[in-house]
Amino acid sequence: MAEVSLHKLNKKFDTTHVVKDVDLQIRDKEFMVFVGPSGCGKTTTLRMIAGLEAVTAGEIRIDDRVVNEVPPMDRDIAMVFQNYALYPHMSVASNLAFGLKMRKFEKAEIEKRINNAASILGIESLLQRKPRQLSGGQRQRVALGRAIVRDPKVFLFDEPLSNLDAQLRVQMRVELKKLHERLAVTSVYVTHDQVEAMTLGDRVVVMKDGLVQQVGEPLELYNTPANRFVAGFIGSPAMNFADVTLIENDGKPVAEAPELRIGIPGELAARARAKIGSKATLGIRPEDIHIATAADAPEYCFEASVEVVEQLGSEILLDMRVGPALMVASVEPTLRVRSHDKLKLALKPERLHLFDAETEAAI
Ligand code: ATP
């Protein structure tokens, strides 16, 4: 069993405050992903958990033990790095054995663990090779193997797939997911790639400027982002935003912008009502916009002028102008549409988001 908890965790490099009051409970066997733009503090947080970076303030616990002052070697964690960090002069088998030898494991036990890890990762035939004789994907498997043989309480991953080409990344992503199901070890994974975060994480922590923006299951982040930043960061293509004013029309709240007037449905209307007269940001995902039909209520329809048509095969992305706002819609691949066409579109009312213009928090 291994739970990792961060309590008011802070890191300063001289005067630069890069991790700010991070509170987080990582559950036993959970795969927790930290995601955020470059420089947001995710790697520094991971390195503090690993013991590679001193904690400025706050507490890190692994189970009930505070590990702030415990050296990395004694934390019972194994870390997988982006650059693999393999010893070039050693064979794969020796690379796998190294950490265990340092810890004075018996030879027979080392052999057993190497064979087990090699079989899990399908690298049995590579054990006598040197790292330079391996492909990028194989090297990454060896790096994973080195963590697996340790049989640690916690795995820490620092962007382990970012040196691989796009196709291999997808393949290794699936392998990592299977590996986690099989080993069921608490894992903390850092990436700047939101697709990786969404597909791998049981839960995802979104960070920006050293602050946790939201923690949740992938679909929770996608469906109910806590603020505009999370809304724009999670999901591809990104959510569309338009600056609007919340007004009242026939007793109902409406989001209004030049050439855009959208009704606000259900519970969102109740919350928007308290903010009539103020500025807000309307958010709608490209996949929640479609070509309007007679079935669409007029208050959820708007007109757009198509600027660019992106044919992706499985869908068409329309880059459109709606008044001063630019929006993207993902529509059926069979649609015949050309740039400069004027279209009537509709959005799914239940998928509409509003954010406070000042705080950027979800309304
Ligand atoms: P990336 O994906 O680019 O690695 P990140 O979110 O992992 O980004 P960190 O590596 O945690 O970000 O860095 C957070 C901030 O701390 C950055 O502004 C970085 O420049 C700064 N930083 C990191 N390490 C040090 C250091 N040793 N000394 C000074 N500043 C540092």
- Encode pLDDT of 54-98 as tens digits: 999 999 999 989 999 999 989 999 998 887 788 999 999 999 999
Mean pLDDT of the region 293-303? 94
Q: What is the mean pLDDT of residues 279-286?
A: 97
Minimum-distance ligand 1 atom for the alpha carbon of 159:
2
Q: Give the distance (Å) from ligand 1 centre to CA of residue 107.
A: 40
Predicted pLDDT at 161: 87
- What pLDDT score was predicted for residue 207? 97
Q: Output DSSP code: residue 1.
A: -
Banded model confidence at residue 163, pLDDT cuts 50, 70, 90: confident
pTM recorded for the entire structure:
0.92
Residue to mutate, 19, 38, 81, 156, ligand 1, most ligand atoms under 8 Å from C-beta = 38
Q: Whose CA is nearest to atom 5 of ligand 1?
A: 39
Answer for the pair 185, 27: CB distance below 8 angstroms, yes or no. Answer: no
Per-residue pLDDT reduced to its tens digit, 101-125? 988 899 999 999 999 889 888 889 9
Q: Which residues pair with 243 in a beta bridge?
A: 281
Query: Which residue puts its alpha carbon closest to atom 29 of ligand 1?
Result: 13
Q: Whose CA is nearest to atom 23 of ligand 1?
A: 44
Strands (E), the chain: 4-13, 16-26, 31-35, 57-62, 65-66, 77-80, 154-158, 186-191, 203-208, 211-216, 240-249, 252-257, 260-263, 279-284, 289-291, 301-311, 316-322, 325-331, 342-347, 353-356
Question: Are 146 and 90 within 8 A, CB to CB?
Answer: no
Q: Please give the distance, rounded to the nearest whole angstrom, from the Cα atom of residue 54 to the centre of ligand 1.
A: 14
Is the pLDDT reported for residue 326 higher than 80?
yes
pLDDT in the model for residue 211: 97
Test site for ligand 1: of 44, 188, 192, 194, most ligand atoms within 8 A of the Cβ: 44
Percent above pLDDT 70 for the chain: 100
pLDDT at 1 over 80: no
Ligand 1 lining (C-beta closer than 6 Å): 13, 16, 18, 36, 38-44, 192
* Structure confidence at residue 299 (pLDDT): 94
